[in-house]
Amino acid sequence: MLTRDENELLTRTNRGTPMGEYLRRYWQPVLLESELPRADCPPVRVKLMGEELVAFRDSSDRIGLLDEYCPHRRTSLYWGRNEACGLRCVYHGWKFDVEGHCVDMPNEPAEYGFKERVFTTAYPARAWGGLIWAYLGPRGADEALPPLPEFEWAVVPANQRFVSKRLQESNYLQAVEGGIDSSHVSFLHSTLSAETHVSSTLGLQSAYMWRDKAPRFTVNRTDYGLLIGARRDAEADTYYWRITQFLLPTATIIPGPMNVDAPYNGHFWTPIDDDHCWNFSVSWLPGRPLTEQELQDLQSGNSIHAGVDQKTFLPIRNARNEYLIDRAKQQRDSFTGIEGVSEQDSAVQEAMGRIVDRSREHLGTSDTAIIAARRLLLREARDLQREGRGPAAVQRPAAFRVRSASMLLRRDVSYEETVKDTLTAPVR
Amino acid sequence: MTTGPNPSHVIAVEDYGEATLRNLIAHLDVSHSFEHCIYRESELDAVWRLLDIALERGDGAVLPRERLLELRDAIHQAHDFAADEKPHEAAARLRRELRTV
């Protein structure tokens, strides 16, 4: 249960809001790297936390992220010409480099020297782990940027990971909360038999999740965010643990199948505005390239990677077509009648409304992980707002080198002691 | 050998009776970390929802409506103390409520 004020604080992300300022202290994924595939390729519109921007890759392969609107007459630089290390407005020819300097102003007499005095808003952007990341926060006195988080999926070779992107038509926090809620997996993503999901790359096959639908949660505060353990009864002397991470500010890692050499999976949610967010999903293998079969499964639209329109990234199964729900299938064998793990998530999270009123919820002990994530975000955003204390995790990039897991543990074995050293991704 | 309440253990909340509230108080008294306060908040959420649903349903069979309202307010206040990582204030609020029974 949150107050309305707390809900507002957590969900509003425009510049100047407490959460907007907090999130701007982190690097945020904003595009697939494939959306800016080569130098001087067409620019791409980017909306991030309410800011309308345009991204481009210049002739030197540097990535620029500028205010979408030309400071001259406020038309869109999206129509611009990406040429010779700058983005040129097609209206009057003003041209800007990746740092926002106006480097050409051909419609003004050169002797006036206007261009030296004109800048547009520009944010640092980097390619990292198959994604383009942006930093919208303040810089240090020496103009230093925070380091990029060292997610294992970002540091493995490109052929060991698969990344995708989809539009979600809700506030980012609803999506994040879905990502750390192990309890829903036994329902939303299940079938009517003990085989809870058909995708071979997802860790949802366990019969334990089907048999014990009321996990008990353990949360631990960590340098990167939260370590979340969901414990289910397994055999007479064992528990089944599904261990996930909530990584500040808006990411999760979820385990692959138990005892199988299958990909790890994760999500990162980036607020577009208060009513929409991007879901970046990633699957990776630490030790070998993905096989053709694994790639096919990840691209099938039946895993955590949704089938989407390649221009808009709107899922093919979306609210407008009721996610192509098949009621007969729902009666027969699927809990939802909706295909695709991501689409199942979208259906329930978007149906809550663009920003759910959390003052009207009825939570309980099965919502422990969600409660913990909210409290952590609230605490961090307030620390920044009241005391100017920025998030410590930003300066600890190696803390993000963690892995999730699903495992059987004897009931008399301490979960905390067991996982303490086993969920860290080795440094290569 | 007797053992005291374990603050890392989440209580199974099945009702909003006096025994449940005393168990909650005992766990609040020994809670001191972020994690403990999260567990206590989730337990108080669980008690609050039972009370809220009882009120919405017009369930006056167990306790009079006025008493349900008082209890729900007290749980709400204790919840907000736990959320603020003030478990001892939360315990004190529940103790005060129990004295009025």
A362 near B CB under 8 A: yes
A382 near B CB under 8 A: no
* 8-state DSSP, A315: B
Q: What is the pLDDT along chain A (428 residues), one digit of tens a residue?
A: 899 999 999 999 999 999 999 999 999 999 999 999 999 999 999 999 999 999 999 999 999 999 999 999 999 999 999 999 999 999 999 999 999 999 999 999 988 889 999 999 999 999 999 999 999 999 877 779 999 999 999 999 999 999 999 999 999 999 999 999 888 888 888 888 765 444 445 554 567 877 888 889 999 999 999 999 999 998 999 999 989 999 999 999 988 777 778 899 999 999 999 999 999 999 999 999 999 999 999 998 888 999 999 999 999 999 999 999 999 999 998 899 999 999 999 999 999 999 999 999 999 999 999 999 999 999 999 999 999 999 999 999 999 999 998 888 999 998 888 887 667 776 55
Cβ-Cβ contacts under 8 Å for A377 (sequence gap 6 or more): A10, A19, A22, A248, A249
Check: CB of residue A91 under 8 Å from CB of residue A65: no
- The sign of the dihedral angle between the CA atoms of A278, A284, A286, A290 is negative
A408 near B CB under 8 A: no
Alpha-carbon distance A220 to nearest alpha carbon in chain B (angstroms): 6
For residue B9, the chain A residue with the least C-alpha distance is A218
Alpha-carbon distance B81 to nearest alpha carbon in chain A (angstroms): 12
Q: Say if the Cβ atoms of A368 and B42 lie within 8 Å.
A: yes
A222 near B CB under 8 A: no
Query: Dihedral angle at the C-alpha atoms of A31, A37, A41, A43, nearest 10 degrees?
Result: 0
Alpha-carbon distance B101 to nearest alpha carbon in chain A (angstroms): 25
| ipTM of the complex as predicted | 0.94
Whole-number CA gyration radius for chain B: 13
The pLDDT of residue A274 is 98
- CA–chain centroid gap for A373, Å, is 15
Asked if pLDDT for residue B59 goes beyond 80, the answer is: no
B13 near A CB under 8 A: yes
The residue type of A86 is G
B79 near A CB under 8 A: yes
Neighbours of A74 (CB within 10 A): 10
A113 phi and psi, to 5 degrees? 65, 25
Average pLDDT over residues B14-25: 95
Q: Verify cis geometry, omega within 30 degrees of 0, for the bond prior to A426.
A: no
Taking only residues 33 to 52 of chain B, the set having a beta carbon closer than 8 angstroms to any beta carbon of chain A reads 34-35, 37-39, 41-43, 45-46, 48-49, 52
Check: CB of residue A335 under 8 Å from CB of residue A191: yes
Q: Of the candidates A173, A148, A169, A170, which has an alpha carbon nearest to the alpha carbon of residue A63?
A: A148
A218 near B CB under 8 A: yes
The pLDDT of residue A262 is 87
Burial string for A99-114 (b: 16+ CB within 10 Å, else e) reads ebebbbbeeeeeeeee
- Tell me the CA distances in angstroms from A133 to A73, A79, A110, A249, A373, one per residue in order: 28, 22, 36, 14, 23
Q: Of the candidates A63, A60, A59, which has an alpha carbon nearest to the alpha carbon of residue A36?
A: A63
The residue type of A364 is G
Alpha-carbon distance A154 to nearest alpha carbon in chain B (angstroms): 30
Q: Say if the Cβ atoms of A371 and B52 lie within 8 Å.
A: no
How close are the terminal C-alpha atoms of chain A, in Å? 43
- Show the tokens assigned to A98: 């990746």
Cβ-Cβ contacts under 8 Å for A343 (sequence gap 6 or more): A306, A315, A317, A318, A323
The pLDDT of residue A428 is 57
Q: Say if the Cβ atoms of A375 and B52 lie within 8 Å.
A: no
The pLDDT of residue A261 is 84
pTM (two decimals) = 0.94
Query: Dihedral angle at the C-alpha atoms of B19, B24, B26, B31, nearest 10 degrees?
Result: 170
CA distance B23 to B28: 9
Residue A179 three-state SS: helix
Alpha-carbon distance A389 to nearest alpha carbon in chain B (angstroms): 18
Q: Say if the Cβ atoms of A362 and B49 lie within 8 Å.
A: yes
Residues of A in contact with B11 (CB under 8 A): 365
The pLDDT of residue A197 is 47
Q: Say if the Cβ atoms of A362 and B41 lie within 8 Å.
A: no
A221 near B CB under 8 A: yes
Q: Of the candidates A302, A46, A251, A309, which has an alpha carbon nearest to the alpha carbon of residue A129?
A: A251
- Show the tokens assigned to A62: 């540097």
The pLDDT of residue A258 is 75
Mutate to test the interface with A, among B14, B33, B41 (most CBs of A within 10 A): B41
Alpha-carbon distance A362 to nearest alpha carbon in chain B (angstroms): 5
Average pLDDT over residues B12-40: 96
Helix or strand holding residue B78 (H, E): helix B65-83
Neighbours of B10 (CB within 10 A): 20
For residue B52, the chain A residue with the least C-alpha distance is A362
Mutate to test the interface with A, among B8, B24, B31, B34 (most CBs of A within 10 A): B34
